[in-house]
Structure 1
Amino acid sequence: MACNPFVCWACPPQETVTFIESCGKFSKVAYPGCNCIIPCCGQAAAGTLSLRVQQLDVRCESKTKDNVFVNVVVSVQYQVQKENLWDAQYKLTDSRQQISSYIFDVVRATVPKMNLDDVFLEKEQIASDIKEQLTKSMSEYGYLIIHALVNDIEPAHRVKEAMNEINAARRMRIAAIEKAEAEKVAIVKAAEAEAEAKFLQGQGIARQRGALVAGLRESVKDFTSNQADVSSKDVLELMLVTQYFDMLKDVGTSNRASTIFLPHSPAGMTDAASQIRNAFLQGSVGSEKIHAA
């Protein structure tokens, strides 16, 4: 503002207004540009207001329903209404302090009704309540509330660590359950495979023995039909003894053979033939039962 003893000039910058008073009473609003003020008539500049969008950041501490103290950081964007410049200048002494008071009131009335997790989830609802309350309260003072944002919710450091530990423990428990389920499936499938393999192996052994018995039966039948003086028992014992010696040969030529002790007297041979014959007969009966099933 430039002046001389008779005339002064008020030149508010762009998007700023200056209030001119005459003898302490509001006279006019000086808009951006060159405005004449006559000091000798008692005129003087009483203050300025910015018409730009302004932002106020407020940090408010409050307690949640589950007794956790948190700091809620709220940012409010507001602007002076051009049609209510007089109200904005003369009705409030400190507009920023007034807005802060309303923010504190809304936060401390809303957050104590929520648990800590709900405060994070209902952040937009808290911001909406703040904007609604400020719009109702500040409109009569010539201020327009553009946005109200909850930028941050900060619980105590120890509470943050506890929340992270709870989340980590929950995820580890889920991972342990999934790992146990995978191991269970693997064990069950391995047991089923082993049972199926043993079943098929048993079927194979039974069929093998049945085939051997059938072959021996045919061999005995062919031999006795040509030799009338030889009984089928003698033929069977001869064939079993032959297979017994073949078995000894295979054991002796095997690379993994170990020392075994067998009775090798004539009486022992008779007993071995009897045992082999009984084993084949039992195998034949088992094979017939399997085929019948």
Structure 2
Amino acid sequence: MNITLIILLVIGLFIFMSSFFTVKQQTSVIIERFGKFHSVRHSGLQLKIPLIDRVAGRANLKIQQLDVIIETKTKDNVFVKLKVSVQFMVVKETVYDAFYKLEYAHDQITSYVFDVVRAEVPKLKLDDVFERKDDIAIAVKRELNEAMTTYGYTIINTLVTDIDPDIQVKNAMNRINAADREKTVAEFEAEASRIRIVAKAKAEAESKRLQGQGIADQRREIARGLVESVDVLNRVGINSQEASALIVVTQHYDTLQAIGADTNSNLILLPNSPQAGSDMLNNMVASFTASNMVGESMKKGSRKEKTKTQKILPIEEKEEESPETEE
């Protein structure tokens, strides 16, 4: 009798304890009564009728992610693998639809992703697939939202996380990129070389201009000094020819002195004897005298030609007037 009572107490305690259950956060529990849907219970301590109500299942309300890998062909006949990550969740208010209308949500989502991607990618070339991957993700999200809302799911986001062409295509693309970068490097190097050449040419031109200006200034000062020297010598009774000769001889000996002052110089100026200076002076005086005589004779000759021309012109005019007089 005591054993029977104990058994009944244990069974009663078990039934009483089974009337209570807990639901975790971000989870919903579906309760069925005699096999028929009764209610949805959310997080916290819940109560059900023992032997009548039962927990049919639990629905996860957290955001879930499904990675789908699809292989398809682009418009330019390149096979490419795309990895699409779909983030979705069960809507709290539509747990009934998510639990009873759709059994394998992952398979359903995967099918829609395959369908959309294989409809969108063949319209694009490989380069456009990389540039417009966001458009592909938006198209997948739009299609999934329209389909999965009916089953109590909402699509949070879709991302094209990887685009993997065939290995040969990837190698070709890498070679193209390398060649393009080498071309850019060559263009920059050529431009830098051109800039250096132009800058060097400008610097040389400026140097030549300044050098020429310096030479011109030097010669101008030399000429001014010679004029002043000739004026000074003229004041003491030395004419221009003698003064010019004296200046040349002085410069000759100054040059010899400058050459002799340099101990490392191997230059020899010929002739360099004292008699050579006297000969040079005599030759210069003679040349100046000869040039003056030639100049005077040329002046006289030009004057005679002008006189003859003046005499001939009146005679010709008279001859031209004579026929008119006879008439």
Pick the TM interval, shorter chain: 0.7 to 0.9
Aligned runs of 1:9-158 on 2, under 5 Å?
11=21, 13-14=23-24, 15-18=27-30, 20=32, 22=34, 26-29=36-39, 31=41, 33-36=46-49, 38=51, 47-158=57-168
Structure 1 residue 187 displacement after superposition: 1.9
The alignment of Structure 1 onto Structure 2 pairs a total of residues equal to 266
Q: Which residue of 2 aligns with 1:248?
A: 256
- Provide, for residues 110-133 of structure 1, a one-character-per-residue CA deviation record: whole Å limited to 9, x for no partner: 122223333233232222211110
- Provide, for residues 258-283 of structure 1, a one-character-per-residue CA deviation record: whole Å limited to 9, x for no partner: 23352347579539986xx99xxxxx
Structure 2: 5+ residue runs without aligned partners? Answer: 1-10, 289-327
Structure whose alpha-carbon radius of gyration is higher: 2
Between the aligned residues of both structures, percent identity stands at 43
- Provide, for residues 178-226 of structure 1, a one-character-per-residue CA deviation record: whole Å limited to 9, x for no partner: 2322332222222222222222222222232232233223323332343
Pair 1:216–1:143, CA change in 2 (3 A):
closer
Structure 1 residue 99 displacement after superposition: 0.5
Distance 2:246 2:157 in 1: 108
Structure 1 residue 136 displacement after superposition: 0.7
Structure 1: 5+ residue runs without aligned partners? Answer: 279-293
Distance 1:234 1:106 in 2: 111
- Provide, for residues 206-256 of structure 1, a one-character-per-residue CA deviation record: whole Å limited to 9, x for no partner: 2322322332233233323432xx542232112201111111111222255
Structure 1 residue 137 displacement after superposition: 0.8
| Contact 2:74 2:123 (C-alpha < 8 Å) held by counterparts | yes
Aligned runs of 1:223-238 on 2, under 5 Å?
223-227=233-237, 231-238=239-246
Q: Which moved more, 1:126-135 or 1:75-84?
A: 75-84
| Higher normalized contact order (CA 8 Å, seq sep 6+, divided by chain length) | 1
Look up the SS of the partner of 2:271 in the other structure: coil
Pair 1:50–1:226, CA change in 2 (3 A):
closer
Structure 1 residue 164 displacement after superposition: 4.0
Distance 1:259 1:112 in 2: 88
Look up the SS of the partner of 2:102 in the other structure: coil
| Contact 1:237 1:273 (C-alpha < 8 Å) held by counterparts | no
Structure 1 residue 34 displacement after superposition: 4.0
Normalized per residue, which structure has more helix?
2
Structure 1 residue 21 displacement after superposition: 6.5
Which residue identity does 1:222 align to in structure 2?
V
Distance 1:177 1:271 in 2: 66
| Contact 1:54 1:77 (C-alpha < 8 Å) held by counterparts | yes
| Contact 2:40 2:96 (C-alpha < 8 Å) held by counterparts | no
| Contact 1:241 1:273 (C-alpha < 8 Å) held by counterparts | no
Question: If the length of structure 2 is used for normalisation, what is the TM-score?
Answer: 0.68
| Structure 2 residue 229 is the aligned partner of structure 1 residue 216 | no
Structure 1 residue 79 displacement after superposition: 2.2
